[in-house]
Protein backbone atom coordinates (compact mmCIF):
# COMPACT_ATOMS: atom_id res chain seq x y z
CA UNK A 1 0.00 0.00 0.00
CA UNK A 2 1.02 3.65 -0.28
CA UNK A 3 3.54 5.03 2.19
CA UNK A 4 1.24 7.96 2.95
CA UNK A 5 -1.75 5.68 3.56
CA UNK A 6 -3.81 6.01 6.73
CA UNK A 7 -4.36 2.86 8.74
CA UNK A 8 -7.62 4.11 10.21
CA UNK A 9 -10.98 3.33 8.62
CA UNK A 10 -12.71 5.88 6.44
CA UNK A 11 -15.23 7.98 8.34
CA UNK A 12 -18.76 7.42 7.10
CA UNK A 13 -19.98 10.83 6.06
CA UNK A 14 -23.61 11.81 5.69
CA UNK A 15 -24.65 12.04 2.04
CA UNK A 16 -24.79 15.82 1.99
CA UNK A 17 -24.59 17.83 -1.21
CA UNK A 18 -21.31 19.35 -0.06
CA UNK A 19 -19.89 15.94 0.84
CA UNK A 20 -20.83 14.52 -2.56
CA UNK A 21 -19.29 17.54 -4.31
CA UNK A 22 -16.04 17.09 -2.37
CA UNK A 23 -15.90 13.39 -3.18
CA UNK A 24 -16.47 14.05 -6.89
CA UNK A 25 -13.77 16.73 -6.86
CA UNK A 26 -11.33 14.27 -5.30
CA UNK A 27 -12.21 11.57 -7.83
CA UNK A 28 -11.68 13.97 -10.74
CA UNK A 29 -8.38 15.13 -9.28
CA UNK A 30 -7.24 11.55 -8.70
CA UNK A 31 -7.93 10.71 -12.35
CA UNK A 32 -5.62 13.54 -13.41
CA UNK A 33 -2.93 12.73 -10.83
CA UNK A 34 -2.83 8.99 -11.51
CA UNK A 35 -2.69 9.68 -15.24
CA UNK A 36 0.17 12.14 -14.86
CA UNK A 37 2.34 10.33 -12.31
CA UNK A 38 1.35 6.67 -12.55
CA UNK A 39 0.34 4.39 -9.70
CA UNK A 40 3.70 4.10 -7.91
CA UNK A 41 4.74 7.73 -8.02
CA UNK A 42 1.46 9.47 -7.26
CA UNK A 43 1.02 10.80 -3.72
CA UNK A 44 -2.05 11.90 -1.84
CA UNK A 45 -0.40 15.32 -1.80
CA UNK A 46 -0.65 15.37 -5.60
CA UNK A 47 -4.34 14.50 -5.49
CA UNK A 48 -5.31 17.10 -2.87
CA UNK A 49 -3.23 19.76 -4.62
CA UNK A 50 -5.06 19.06 -7.89
CA UNK A 51 -8.41 19.16 -6.08
CA UNK A 52 -7.61 22.20 -3.96
CA UNK A 53 -8.69 20.25 -0.87
CA UNK A 54 -6.93 19.60 2.45
CA UNK A 55 -5.40 16.28 3.47
CA UNK A 56 -7.92 16.12 6.30
CA UNK A 57 -10.85 16.24 3.91
CA UNK A 58 -9.26 13.55 1.76
CA UNK A 59 -9.06 11.17 4.71
CA UNK A 60 -12.69 11.82 5.58
CA UNK A 61 -13.60 10.21 2.23
CA UNK A 62 -10.80 7.72 1.46
CA UNK A 63 -8.37 5.71 3.57
CA UNK A 64 -5.47 5.96 1.11
CA UNK A 65 -4.59 6.22 -2.57
CA UNK A 66 -5.55 2.58 -3.14
CA UNK A 67 -9.06 3.28 -1.87
CA UNK A 68 -9.60 6.21 -4.21
CA UNK A 69 -8.24 4.27 -7.19
CA UNK A 70 -10.64 1.42 -6.41
CA UNK A 71 -13.50 3.93 -6.23
CA UNK A 72 -12.48 5.23 -9.66
CA UNK A 73 -12.42 1.70 -11.04
CA UNK A 74 -15.88 0.98 -9.67
CA UNK A 75 -17.12 4.18 -11.31
CA UNK A 76 -15.44 3.29 -14.60
CA UNK A 77 -16.74 -0.28 -14.47
CA UNK A 78 -20.31 0.97 -14.18
CA UNK A 79 -19.80 3.47 -17.00
CA UNK A 80 -18.41 0.81 -19.34
CA UNK A 81 -21.23 -1.55 -18.40
CA UNK A 82 -23.72 1.05 -19.64
CA UNK A 83 -21.91 2.11 -22.82
CA UNK A 84 -21.09 -1.40 -24.06
CA UNK A 85 -24.41 -3.06 -23.25
CA UNK A 86 -26.32 -4.54 -26.17
CA UNK A 87 -28.90 -2.12 -27.51
CA UNK A 88 -32.57 -2.85 -26.91
CA UNK A 89 -33.90 -4.97 -29.77
CA UNK A 90 -30.42 -5.78 -31.09
CA UNK A 91 -30.39 -9.28 -32.53
CA UNK A 92 -27.60 -11.81 -32.77
CA UNK A 93 -25.94 -11.51 -36.14
CA UNK A 94 -22.50 -11.60 -37.67
CA UNK A 95 -21.37 -8.94 -40.09
CA UNK A 96 -18.11 -7.18 -40.73
CA UNK A 97 -19.81 -3.79 -40.40
CA UNK A 98 -21.23 -4.63 -36.97
CA UNK A 99 -17.90 -5.89 -35.66
CA UNK A 100 -16.12 -2.81 -36.98
CA UNK A 101 -18.68 -0.55 -35.33
CA UNK A 102 -18.53 -2.32 -31.96
CA UNK A 103 -14.72 -2.31 -31.93
CA UNK A 104 -14.54 1.35 -32.91
CA UNK A 105 -16.89 2.16 -30.03
CA UNK A 106 -14.76 0.12 -27.63
CA UNK A 107 -11.58 1.97 -28.62
CA UNK A 108 -13.37 5.32 -28.31
CA UNK A 109 -14.53 4.42 -24.81
CA UNK A 110 -11.01 3.25 -23.95
CA UNK A 111 -9.56 6.51 -25.26
CA UNK A 112 -11.89 8.51 -23.01
CA UNK A 113 -10.43 6.71 -19.97
CA UNK A 114 -7.05 5.68 -21.32
CA UNK A 115 -4.82 7.02 -18.56
CA UNK A 116 -6.93 5.58 -15.77
CA UNK A 117 -7.21 2.21 -17.52
CA UNK A 118 -3.46 2.13 -18.03
CA UNK A 119 -2.80 2.86 -14.35
CA UNK A 120 -5.37 0.28 -13.25
CA UNK A 121 -3.79 -2.43 -15.39
CA UNK A 122 -0.32 -1.60 -14.13
CA UNK A 123 -1.48 -1.60 -10.51
CA UNK A 124 -3.16 -4.98 -10.99
CA UNK A 125 0.01 -6.43 -12.49
CA UNK A 126 2.20 -5.23 -9.62
CA UNK A 127 0.15 -6.62 -6.78
CA UNK A 128 -0.60 -10.31 -7.14
CA UNK A 129 -3.01 -10.56 -4.21
CA UNK A 130 -4.79 -7.25 -4.35
CA UNK A 131 -8.20 -5.74 -4.83
CA UNK A 132 -6.87 -4.17 -8.03
CA UNK A 133 -6.26 -7.57 -9.60
CA UNK A 134 -9.67 -8.81 -8.47
CA UNK A 135 -11.50 -5.76 -9.86
CA UNK A 136 -9.51 -5.75 -13.10
CA UNK A 137 -10.15 -9.43 -13.75
CA UNK A 138 -13.83 -9.02 -12.93
CA UNK A 139 -14.05 -6.22 -15.49
CA UNK A 140 -12.37 -8.16 -18.30
CA UNK A 141 -13.94 -11.52 -17.43
CA UNK A 142 -17.39 -10.03 -17.90
CA UNK A 143 -16.56 -9.03 -21.49
CA UNK A 144 -14.92 -12.37 -22.25
CA UNK A 145 -17.97 -14.23 -20.91
CA UNK A 146 -20.30 -12.06 -22.96
CA UNK A 147 -18.31 -12.79 -26.12
CA UNK A 148 -18.36 -16.49 -25.30
CA UNK A 149 -22.15 -16.49 -24.94
CA UNK A 150 -22.50 -14.60 -28.23
CA UNK A 151 -20.31 -17.11 -30.07
CA UNK A 152 -22.32 -19.98 -28.61
CA UNK A 153 -25.54 -18.44 -29.91
CA UNK A 154 -24.05 -17.87 -33.37
CA UNK A 155 -22.94 -21.50 -33.59
CA UNK A 156 -26.24 -22.79 -32.21
CA UNK A 157 -28.31 -20.97 -34.82
CA UNK A 158 -25.98 -21.99 -37.67
CA UNK A 159 -24.80 -18.45 -38.41
CA UNK A 160 -21.16 -19.57 -38.26
CA UNK A 161 -19.37 -22.92 -38.60
CA UNK A 162 -18.72 -24.87 -35.37
CA UNK A 163 -15.79 -23.51 -33.36
CA UNK A 164 -13.58 -26.14 -31.71
CA UNK A 165 -12.97 -24.25 -28.44
CA UNK A 166 -15.38 -21.36 -27.96
CA UNK A 167 -14.10 -20.29 -24.51
CA UNK A 168 -10.53 -19.99 -25.80
CA UNK A 169 -11.60 -18.23 -28.99
CA UNK A 170 -13.50 -15.70 -26.86
CA UNK A 171 -10.46 -15.26 -24.62
CA UNK A 172 -8.12 -14.83 -27.58
CA UNK A 173 -10.27 -12.26 -29.36
CA UNK A 174 -10.86 -10.31 -26.17
CA UNK A 175 -7.15 -10.35 -25.31
CA UNK A 176 -6.30 -9.14 -28.80
CA UNK A 177 -8.62 -6.15 -28.44
CA UNK A 178 -7.46 -5.42 -24.90
CA UNK A 179 -3.76 -5.50 -25.82
CA UNK A 180 -4.28 -3.31 -28.88
CA UNK A 181 -6.11 -0.79 -26.72
CA UNK A 182 -3.40 -0.81 -24.06
CA UNK A 183 -0.47 -0.42 -26.46
CA UNK A 184 -1.98 1.74 -29.20
CA UNK A 185 -4.22 3.92 -27.04
CA UNK A 186 -3.20 3.63 -23.39
CA UNK A 187 0.56 3.89 -23.95
CA UNK A 188 0.38 6.40 -26.82
CA UNK A 189 2.37 9.59 -26.19
CA UNK A 190 -0.59 11.64 -27.45
CA UNK A 191 -4.27 10.82 -27.40
CA UNK A 192 -5.09 9.12 -30.73
CA UNK A 193 -7.37 11.04 -33.08
CA UNK A 194 -10.65 9.78 -34.54
CA UNK A 195 -9.02 8.63 -37.78
CA UNK A 196 -6.61 6.37 -35.91
CA UNK A 197 -9.36 5.00 -33.67
CA UNK A 198 -11.40 4.15 -36.78
CA UNK A 199 -8.41 2.36 -38.35
CA UNK A 200 -7.84 0.42 -35.17
CA UNK A 201 -11.49 -0.56 -34.82
CA UNK A 202 -11.84 -1.62 -38.45
CA UNK A 203 -8.68 -3.71 -38.39
CA UNK A 204 -9.68 -5.37 -35.14
CA UNK A 205 -13.20 -5.96 -36.45
CA UNK A 206 -11.79 -7.65 -39.56
CA UNK A 207 -9.68 -10.00 -37.44
CA UNK A 208 -12.75 -10.89 -35.35
CA UNK A 209 -14.84 -11.45 -38.48
CA UNK A 210 -12.34 -13.71 -40.24
CA UNK A 211 -11.68 -15.70 -37.09
CA UNK A 212 -15.36 -16.33 -36.39
CA UNK A 213 -16.74 -16.74 -39.88
CA UNK A 214 -13.80 -18.35 -41.61
CA UNK A 215 -14.53 -16.02 -44.54
CA UNK A 216 -12.11 -13.43 -46.02
CA UNK A 217 -14.89 -10.79 -46.00
The pLDDT tens digits of the residues spanning 74-110 come to 888 777 777 666 654 456 789 999 999 999 999 999 9
Q: Which of 3, 156, 138 is nearest to 70 (CA)?
A: 138
DSSP type of residue 128: T
Please tell me the CATH code under which domain 17-66 is placed: 1.10.10.60
HSE (CB half, 13 Å, CA atoms) of 210?
7
Higher-pLDDT residue of 202 and 140 is 202
Distance separating alpha carbons of residues 200 and 118, to the nearest angstrom: 18
Superfamily of domain 84-213: Tetracycline Repressor, domain 2 (1.10.357.10)
Distance separating alpha carbons of residues 108 and 147, to the nearest angstrom: 19
Torsion from C-alpha of 17, 18, 23, 26, nearest 10 degrees? 140
pLDDT band at 129 (very low <50, low <70, confident <90, very high): low
Q: What confidence tens digit (pLDDT) does each residue in 164-194 have?
A: 899 999 999 999 999 999 999 999 999 999 9
**Cβ neighbours of residue 11 under 8 Å, at least 6 residues apart?**
59, 60
Give start-end residues of each CATH 1.10.357.10 domain in the chain.
Answer: 84-213
Q: What confidence tens digit (pLDDT) does each residue in 35-82 have?
A: 889 888 999 999 999 999 999 999 999 999 989 998 998 888 777 777
The whole-number pLDDT of residue 96 equals: 94
The whole-number pLDDT of residue 170 equals: 96
List for the chain the helix, strand, coil content (%; round to 5): 70, 0, 30
Torsion from C-alpha of 39, 42, 43, 45, nearest 10 degrees? -140
The whole-number pLDDT of residue 214 equals: 82
Round the average pLDDT of the chain to a whole number and report it.
Answer: 85
The whole-number pLDDT of residue 16 equals: 83
**Cβ neighbours of residue 147 under 8 Å, at least 6 residues apart?**
170, 173, 174
Give start-end residues of each CATH 1.10.10.60 domain in the chain.
Answer: 17-66
pTM over 0.85: no
Residue 128 has pLDDT above 70, yes or no: no
- 86 near 158, Cβ under 8 Å? no
HSE (CB half, 13 Å, CA atoms) of 19?
10
Amino acid sequence: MAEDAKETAVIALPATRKGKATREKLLSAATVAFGEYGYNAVRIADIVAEAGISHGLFYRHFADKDAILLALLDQLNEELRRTTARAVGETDMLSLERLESRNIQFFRDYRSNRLLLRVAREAAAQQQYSDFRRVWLQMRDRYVARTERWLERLVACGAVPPLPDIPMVAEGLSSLTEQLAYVQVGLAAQEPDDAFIDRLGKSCGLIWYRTISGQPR
